[in-house]
Structure 1
Amino acid sequence: MPDLVVGVDGGNSKTDLVLADTEGRLLSWVRGAGTRPHTEGMETTTERLARLGRFALAEAGLPQTAPVSAGAYFLANVDQRAQERLALRQLTELGVAGRTVVRNDTLAVLRAGAPGGWGVAVVSGAGINAAAVHPGGRSARFLSLGDITGDWGGGLAVARAGLGAAVRAGDGRGRTTRLRRDLPVHFGLGSVEAVALAVGAGEIPVTALHGLAPLVFAAAEDGDAVARDIVERLGDEIVAMVTALLRRLRLLRTPTPVVLGGGTLQNDHLLLRDHIAARLATEAPLARPRVLDVPPVAGAAAEALVTAAAPADARRRLREAIGARKPPDAVAD
């Protein structure tokens, strides 16, 4: 009988977990809450991941005690080596798999989109991060602690910038923008000022602002200059990350794959993609950007199969199966 493997892509807002076997068959795909050990603690995070794994086994019609040969956990907000070691120790104690690998979620994008396993990966979902691996094995990453380490980007940053620009347009500090009309509709409120006040009072969680990002992108695509500036700022930040990593690993003179993943990059935001491509063509002409064509969890699943010593054909079959299936909508507890 083939062994079982688990691949996990834990993002800021959601976690995807796939259960497969070493022949490359996709047995189940479940979705849970995001991985936020920086606010919820690593113990809570790893226990939730273990429950999600048991849920995946049940979804596949298997006993929740069925042994899993290998698990690859690529987790957002696990940005430092010490955090990786802590998550690995706790997941091992929870018995999630016979062999367990823990990495930052950015590397799932790289594993899924770069055939050789090296290059640069950018994840722009609710937040933003990037990492790079040299062909010789060296790697580079960022601290990624938010504002205090100079980070800006992702859907939540775009949404907050859009809301702020809309308020400024109303009080005389900023330019006219359709965002004043578009954004409050998402929350059923009459003005962007009402949205801001509701956030300040705790009536609307800050994380819920992420839902405004598609409205900012839509306004930018339709020619709104204020929204366009916000989207282009995101593109500039992504290019800055990519070029910094290429420079640190001395890859600027080497044709290098650059994999773009996450919701704000894998959706059809052509303005953002074109801006990134144009800037990279000038600043890093040997960079080879591509948008990831499968969910990032495919990279985690591939790593789990490698850890279990599964054949390359199994990795190909599982990648195709993940790419062909619609991700789950429901979020398991």
Structure 2
Amino acid sequence: MLGVDGGGTKTACVAIAPSGEILGRGEGGPSNYQSVGVEAAEAAIAHAISGALAGVFEGRIGAIGLGLAGVGRSRDLEVIRASVDRLQQRPEFGDRWQLSPDKIAIAHDCAIALTGGVGANVGVATIAGTGAIAYGRNRHGATRRSSGWGYLLGDEGSAYWIALAGLRAAVRAEDGRSPATALTEAFRQHLELDNLQSLIELVYRRGLTVKEIAAHAAIVDRCARNGDAIALDILDRAADELLLATRAVFAPLFNPDEPFEVVTIGGAWKSQILRDRFCQNLHQIAPFASVIWPRHEPAYGAALLVLS
């Protein structure tokens, strides 16, 4: 059985035995067909599958689950099903598979993050990486999502949002428009700037990418751990925003006394302060919810989709 996690940066595949043991892993390039095109997406998925199957016994592939960014409409499912049909005919795979429709599962990337993270397709995944989104599914198959509008319109609580809030606090303090904060000197030193005015060239002329800005969320966390009030406030607000998205998902899906798990996924959760604040606040409004770390990777979750 194969599980494929395809995103805008890379594609991961795991080959899994019937026992659940991972037999092999492979990686390929981006496979969001909306951005790279169908042909390039298929090539990336094929490369990842080949890597996962390298060294694995020459048996037949029994099923495949794919969780792909950019797959959110019925038309997208048609496109990917056609891609899977072509993948099965690729010469590098010989006659190792010829799957019936019930052995092919296709979903968006949030669904496999939830399924892999919880180890089942029921619960909530609150993702806070470069972007932020919450996604959930209940025992009746109903789903809900919140946030995930991208860095211009939303993604509140994400690493990008935290880092940008930190940079804004630093320049406001530099001007005297806000209270002094350790963030000002922390950003200046980390970015090796002669003065904070140099941020203008760095951000606007050199064009720091969203991912590059998001990476600086760690500076906000470090200042917060050192007791900086402004940094602590930023993480408090981030926790509140992530809780809002999570609540918008679980409230319509689960009864108030119904136990469910919330899996926290993404680099922003490396901040223990952020996670502690989130857990404390969640427990107040959903005492039967349990916050967990991911049990499995998303590619593994994609394979589990075939079994659900």
State the TM-score bracket (shorter-chain normalisation). 0.7 to 0.9
Q: In the alignment, is the contact (CA less than 8 A) between 1:119 and 1:258 conserved in 2?
A: yes
Asked whether 1:227 is paired with 2:231, we answer: yes
The residue type equivalent to 1:86 in the other structure is V
- Secondary structure at 1:103's aligned position in 2? strand
Q: In the alignment, is the contact (CA less than 8 A) between 1:158 and 1:234 conserved in 2?
A: yes
Q: In the alignment, is the contact (CA less than 8 A) between 2:114 and 2:120 conserved in 1?
A: no
Distance 1:32 1:220, change over 3 A: farther
Cα offset, 1:150, TM superposition: 4.2
The alignment's C-alpha RMSD in Å is 3.1
- Secondary structure at 2:216's aligned position in 1? helix
Distance 1:201 1:148, change over 3 A: closer
- Secondary structure at 2:173's aligned position in 1? helix
Q: In the alignment, is the contact (CA less than 8 A) between 2:146 and 2:248 conserved in 1?
A: no
Match of 2:209 in 1: 205
- The equivalent position to 1:288 in structure 2, one of 277, 287, 290, is 290
- The equivalent position to 1:107 in structure 2, one of 89, 96, 111, is 111
Match of 1:272 in 2: 274
Matched residues in 2 for 1:36 and 1:217: separation?
32
Residue by residue over 1:30-57, the C-alpha shift from the partner in whole angstroms, topping out at 9 and shown as x without a partner, is 4455655554445544432332222333
Match of 1:314 in 2: none
Matched residues in 1 for 2:35 and 2:195: separation?
31
Residue by residue over 1:1-49, the C-alpha shift from the partner in whole angstroms, topping out at 9 and shown as x without a partner, is xxxx322334565543323333434233344556555544455444323
Distance 1:23 1:278, change over 3 A: closer
Matched residues in 2 for 1:32 and 1:176: separation?
46
Q: Percent identity?
A: 29
The residue type equivalent to 1:138 in the other structure is A
Q: After alignment, is 284-293 or 30-39 more displaced?
A: 30-39
Matched residues in 2 for 1:23 and 1:141: separation?
32
Match of 2:94 in 1: none
The residue type equivalent to 2:65 in the other structure is A
Match of 1:74 in 2: 67
Matched residues in 1 for 2:206 and 2:250: separation?
41
**What does residue range 161-200 of structure 1 map to in structure 2 within 5 Å?**
161-200=165-204
Match of 1:302 in 2: 304
Residue by residue over 1:281-319, the C-alpha shift from the partner in whole angstroms, topping out at 9 and shown as x without a partner, is 222223222222443433234335x27xxxxxxxxxxxx
- The equivalent position to 1:18 in structure 2, one of 14, 18, 21, is 14
Cα offset, 1:82, TM superposition: 4.2
The residue type equivalent to 2:158 in the other structure is G
Structure 2 portions without partners, runs of 5+: 91-96
- Secondary structure at 1:121's aligned position in 2? strand
- The equivalent position to 1:236 in structure 2, one of 237, 240, 264, is 240
Asked whether 1:122 is paired with 2:115, we answer: no
Cα offset, 1:133, TM superposition: 1.0
Matched residues in 1 for 2:272 and 2:36: separation?
35
Distance 1:154 1:17, change over 3 A: farther
Matched residues in 1 for 2:179 and 2:36: separation?
39
Residue by residue over 1:50-71, the C-alpha shift from the partner in whole angstroms, topping out at 9 and shown as x without a partner, is 322223334x4789xx864322
Matched residues in 1 for 2:267 and 2:73: separation?
23
Match of 2:2 in 1: 6
Q: In the alignment, is the contact (CA less than 8 A) between 2:131 and 2:160 conserved in 1?
A: yes
Matched residues in 1 for 2:177 and 2:76: separation?
42
Q: In the alignment, is the contact (CA less than 8 A) between 2:151 and 2:161 conserved in 1?
A: no
The residue type equivalent to 1:292 in the other structure is P
The residue type equivalent to 1:288 in the other structure is S
- Secondary structure at 1:292's aligned position in 2? coil
- Secondary structure at 1:94's aligned position in 2? helix
Matched residues in 2 for 1:112 and 1:303: separation?
9
The residue type equivalent to 2:286 in the other structure is A
Distance 1:105 1:276, change over 3 A: same
The residue type equivalent to 2:64 in the other structure is G
Structure 1 portions without partners, runs of 5+: 308-333
